[in-house]
Amino acid sequence: MLKQLICICLLCCFIFCHADVPGNKPRASYDVTITGLNKYSDYTFYFQSSYGEQQLLKDSTAFTVQGGFGAPICQNVWAVNNKTKQHTDSIYFCSGDHHNSITIMVHIVGKHLTYVKKGPVKKSKKMNQQINIVGDISSNNNQLIMYSISGFSFLLLIAMVFIIWKKNKQAKILKSI
């Protein structure tokens, strides 16, 4: 009976507690259009894809952040001052960050490159992936319940191990007498 109870508790733990690892969720592709580069004529803007290719950016240039499964694929954007050759901070765009295409306007303050999203966004043409949003929403809504069940199962498992250990200890004492 005790072994069956332990198995049921472990089964409940495994059913309700699953890790949210990168390979668990599909990540959508999206397009990023960068504007406002003409204001900064002393800077040259670059973007580096996930494969390490560095490309020059011009005003209103668009690039695609590739989606997929597994670890997020990131692309970064930075600027180099033409006079001092100093690099700014990088802005990272990773797959799964946005579900629609975005248009951004960049700003440079000191050595910091920042951006602001512009206006309404349009849906990406490359958004033909099926994304299971329902599973994510229900898991977020039931997160407290899952944590409670996990904690209770863990405490129950510790209590059962203690009870079994105590019974075995008493059986050894009785055998020795």
Q: Are 94 and 28 in contact (CB under 8 A)?
A: no
Query: How would you class 166 by CB atoms within 10 Å of its CB: exposed for 0-12, middle for 13-18, buried for 19 or more?
Result: exposed
Greatest mean pLDDT range, 35-39, 52-56, 117-121, 124-128: 35-39
Residue 141: pLDDT band (50, 70, 90) is low
The amino acid sitting at 135 is: G
- Pick from 9-13, 19-23, 59-63, 164-168: least confident: 19-23
pLDDT the model gives residue 80: 92
Residues 6 or more apart whose Cβ sits within 8 Å of residue 21: none
- Residues 95, 120, 33, 40, CA torsion sign: negative
Percent of the chain with pLDDT over 90: 12
The architecture (CATH level 2) of 27-129 comes to Sandwich (2.60)
The single-letter code of the amino acid at 152 is F
Nearest to residue 29, comparing CAs of 93, 77, 90, 91? Answer: 93
Tokens of 119: 């206006």
Q: What is the pTM of this model?
A: 0.53
Specify the 3-state DSSP secondary structure of 73: coil
